[in-house]
Amino acid sequence: MAISPCVNHIDEQGRELVEHGTALFPVACYHDDLTSDPVPWHWHDELEAVIIEEGTAVFAADHERLFLNAGEGCLVNADVLHAAWNAEGSSCRLHSVVFHPRLVGGAAESIFWQNYVLPIIEHRSFRILRLVPSEQRDAAMLGYIETAWQCCKSEPRGYELQVRSALSDFLLETLDCIPGRETALSAKTRRREERMKQMLEYIRNHLREEMSVAEIARAASISESECIRCFRNTIGVTPIKYVRQLRLQRAAELLKTTDKKIVEIGEECGFQEMSYFSRVFREQFSRTPSQYRIQKGL
């Protein structure tokens, strides 16, 4: 199995469209450099287990923020809105294992699914789990992630069984890390999460167009002040700043993966003024769009 950078293709609701692995073997392994390619807000059906190779990363799940240093890691639960980026002034590389729960649980009526998978993925208040090597249990869990990743990378004989075994042990330990009694998410938290998904859907559907806070708020039937509050509490920035960040991330991806003209990319990502596009792109990536494309070999 090839190890590759994780390219975030997402639908209009922010749900990731990438197929992680195959239907027969639903797991994929990635390596990423968050310095140049932060992970935008999205969610998917799979569980995601991460180890930081170098630097410091910020992993966010809803309002939670984890600062993870080299050697540390985390688990992001299924269907949780999350994002990741490098800490300010820090380079950051990581590798991750993204796997569907059925890899371990099998069919929904199986004892494996009922006893070991369902209590995790249906635990509404269990969003993200930090793993630190100084803790014995965490160190074991980090080892299981590393084993699965290395097996996918080298593909020794029977590696599929080894990957499934390592991730099964990983989930078994995870069960002991979550509260025995689920703490239900408050109605306020659930409402904010649903509103965020509605507003993210609107933004992604209208990324090429001019948009205001009022228009974004209208997508979730809330006031402008509540819209701003939702974004600050969940993502940590204003709606308009998030729109600009998303446009810049999309532009960087197109610069790396297509031979479209820079002016076309700017327009496709909602930048009508090329001087403004070049200026804010340089602020974000410390180089102009053309310099960025040259550095990436295109």
For 130-181, how does the pLDDT look when each residue is reduced to its tens digit (9 = 90+)? 999 999 999 999 999 999 999 999 999 999 999 999 999 999 999 998 866 5
Instruction: State the residue range of the domain holding 202.
Output: 188-236
Of the candidates 199, 217, 236, which is a domain's last residue? 236
**Conformational region of residue 236, where left means phi above 0, alpha means psi within -120 to 50, and beta covers everything else:** left
Whether residue 187 has pLDDT greater than 60:
yes
Please check whether residues 69 and 209 belong to one and the same domain.
no
**How many whole angstroms from its chain centre is CA 88?**
18
Q: Quick check: is 279 in a domain? A: yes
What's the Cα-to-Cα distance from 82 to each of 130, 132, 191, 201, rounded to whole Å? Answer: 14, 20, 17, 15
User: Which pLDDT does position 193 carry in this prediction?
Assistant: 80
pTM, to two decimals: 0.72
Please check whether residues 195 and 263 belong to one and the same domain.
no
Please check whether residues 225 and 272 belong to one and the same domain.
no
Residues 48-81 have pLDDT tens digits of 999 999 999 999 987 789 999 999 999 999 988 8
Radius of gyration of the chain (CA): 20
Decide which of 266 and 285 is more confident: 266
Q: What is the mean pLDDT of residues 195-218?
A: 91
Of the candidates 201, 221, 236, which is a domain's last residue? 236
Number of domains in the chain: 3
Closest among 187, 199, 278, 274 to 243, alpha carbons compared: 199
Residues 225-282 have pLDDT tens digits of 999 998 888 887 899 999 998 899 889 989 988 999 999 999 999 998 999 999 999 9
Closest among 45, 35, 36 to 10, alpha carbons compared: 45
Instruction: Tokens for 106, please give them.
Output: 């099998």
Contact 296, 289 (CB under 8 A): no
Whether residue 37 has pLDDT greater than 90:
no
Q: Quick check: is 7 in a domain? A: no
Average model confidence (pLDDT) across the chain: 87
CATH number at residue 158: 2.60.120.280
User: Which pLDDT does position 171 carry in this prediction?
Assistant: 96
Enumerate residues 6+ apart whose C-beta is below 8 A from 288. 278, 281, 282
Please check whether residues 37 and 160 belong to one and the same domain.
yes
Contact 185, 124 (CB under 8 A): yes
**% of the chain exceeding 90 in pLDDT:** 57
